[in-house]
Amino acid sequence: MKKTLTLIIAAVLALTMAACGKKKEDSQSPAEAAPDAKSEGVMSYDEFAAADFDTEVIIETYVQAKQEWKNDRATVYTQDGDGAYYLYDMICSKEDYERLIPGQKIKVTGLKSEWSGEVEIVDAAFEIEEGSYIAPAADVTDLLGKEEELYAMQNRFVSFTGMTVEPYEDPERGVQAFLYNWDGSGSPGDDLFFIASKDGKIYDFEVKSALCDETTDVYKAVQNLKVGDKVDLEGFLYWYEGLNPHITSVKVK
């Protein structure tokens, strides 16, 4: 059984693109394959969404990207065929963290929580299970400005197409296409922030350095943005006091 799982995972990695814009060998992937049915005692995504905050939840989900590991805790973006789950500070050894490769199926038990609008699972533990799934990017461009509908898609892997990079205007720094840190106080290696518009409305986007550091394609792409560039974006629909996507791909058109 372990050998079978290894072969499945190897196939997924060979056919899919890394989260932060690394090499892409083939555009075809098992993204369209529906995940297995939930095991007994495991919540559906609808049941998770309806659960109260600060109550225990048990889910089965699939790793999409890893953000960070430290002090035997991991923060991970996951998704199944119906919705997405942000696992914050989950109990995880370094050895187990290495096993959380994109597509890996896991069973998670933790508390449903919320921070500044972001729905997450905290105080969680997980088990490795057999199965693999990479979620396709859902184009949510037409939902921009529709906060309730976007909120319902929170943490999913999504895309925004045909966006226009807008300027940050600062009396001291002048016009800029991006900032290091939200207020421009940072330097290379820190989180990147940029704004882009669609149909005359402006939206905030972020490249989280813990997820996509300065060596990744997406980080470099944002550093090279120019005001007025037309871009297609992909990333995870994170929420922080409103829409705050964590971008993993930027393509200038």
Q: Determine the Cα–Cα distance for residues 132 and 134; give it in Å rounded to an integer.
A: 7
Q: What pLDDT shows up at residue 27?
A: 36
Q: What pLDDT shows up at residue 34?
A: 60
> With contact defined as beta carbons under 8 Å apart, do 199 and 185 qualify?
no
More confident residue, 16 or 50: 50
pLDDT digits over 22-77, tens only?
A: 433 333 345 556 677 899 999 999 999 999 999 999 999 999 999 999 999 999 99
pLDDT digits over 96-116, tens only?
A: 999 999 999 999 999 999 999
pLDDT digits over 139-178, tens only?
A: 999 999 999 999 999 999 999 999 999 999 977 778 999 9
> With contact defined as beta carbons under 8 Å apart, do 183 and 189 qualify?
no
The answer, yes or no, to whether residue 193 has pLDDT greater than 60, is yes
Q: What pLDDT shows up at residue 87?
A: 98
The answer, yes or no, to whether residue 15 has pLDDT greater than 50, is no
Q: What backbone torsions phi and psi does residue 247 show, to the nearest 5 degrees?
A: -85, 135
pLDDT digits over 197-216, tens only?
A: 999 999 999 999 999 999 99
